[in-house]
A and B are shown apart, each in its own frame.
Chain A
Amino acid sequence: MHSPFQGEFYFDFNESLWRLLYGHLRSKNTNLKKNICPEGDIFPIICTYKHMRPELEVLPAQSISSSAPPRDAFFEELYESAFPAVAGFVSQMNGSFQDAKDIFQDALIIYFERSTDPQFSVNATPERYILGIAKHLWIRKFKEKGKNISLNTFEAALSIPVDFFPSVQSKRVLQFIEQAGKKCLDLLRSFYYDKLTMKELAQKFEYSSEHSVTVQKYKCIEKVRESVKERSITYEDFFE
């Protein structure tokens, strides 16, 4: 059988893991494509990676600023401090207010993800970082109009996460799952991204115990996994 998500898997891979891995393979002068995706086959990499960098913890780390309630105020502060510069840049480029808003929000999300990821060191003020990312987003969005943008050394070193713009197919599958199992998506998101403990999860989603919410979490993964299989087969991805 042809492997399912060939090209996409290559890019959906956890970004920070990917960066380090890529650096390692490149330094060994190996052929990336041949090593990682002969048939979309990237699995043996995870152990090798852990073996190479045992000091790095791949698990998402606990982080206060990533949880929901204080996040709101944090976002508002950044909105006030960083939006003016992005809006100024977009206006210089003859973009609209809506363009500025879209690009700023995406840039803020990228900054937020990286600032809460212990494997990324953001050596700049949020304002500077967000403006730099915004420039990259602009260049990506308006290829022609972005040609003349000059990036300084700091900005040139920044990048948009490789999986930031999902494929149409991924969006479709997600849309389908959102209709069928929104509660599961919210529960899993709260666990993986908001880093709620099992106790907090049980409270938030009204389960009687940590044990029952733990079981539910795995049931949710199973449910979403089955939906992905079902949808992907519908879209003939598996057998193309």
Chain B
Amino acid sequence: MRISLNNIRTIEKYLLGAMDQETCFLFEAEIQSDPTLKFNVYVQQKVMSLLRIYHRKKLKAELEVVHQRLFGDPDKHVFKQSIAQLF
């Protein structure tokens, strides 16, 4: 794998908390002394946060499918009725 990809793998390991303690402390020392690395760690953490947002957005879309199915299913008429009468 390219060096840049290996670096990404290392940062990933770090962000997931999967490094052993010694490696982790060494890596943090490296982060402090290397602004480019520090910046890349920052942005990669941002990528992880964006993925979380993306994941939730997709879950919501999955729930929308379930919702449409449930409220369109003739067998679930009673359920639908019990909700509808609330509003």
Q: Which residues of A does B touch, CB under 8 Å?
A: 1, 3-5, 8-9, 12-13, 17, 40, 43-44, 46-47, 49-51, 54, 57-60, 71-72, 75-76, 79-80, 83-84, 87-88, 91, 96-97, 100-101, 105-106, 108-109, 112, 163-164, 166, 170-171, 173-174, 177-178, 185, 188-189, 192-193, 215, 218-219, 221-222, 224-225, 228-229, 232
Contacts and interface: CB of A to CB of B under 8 A. Distances in A.
A174 B50 CA distance: 6
A96 B87 CA distance: 7
A72 B87 contact: no
B50 A173 contact: yes
Contacts, number: 157
B4 interface: yes
Contacts of A76: 66, 69-70
A162 B41 CA distance: 21
Provide the main secondary structure of the chain B interface: helix
Please report whether the interface of chain A is mostly helix, strand, loop or mixed according to DSSP: helix
B17 A49 contact: yes
Given A71-B62, A105-B63, A109-B60, A185 B70 contact: no
Contacts of A8: 49
Nearest to B1: A215
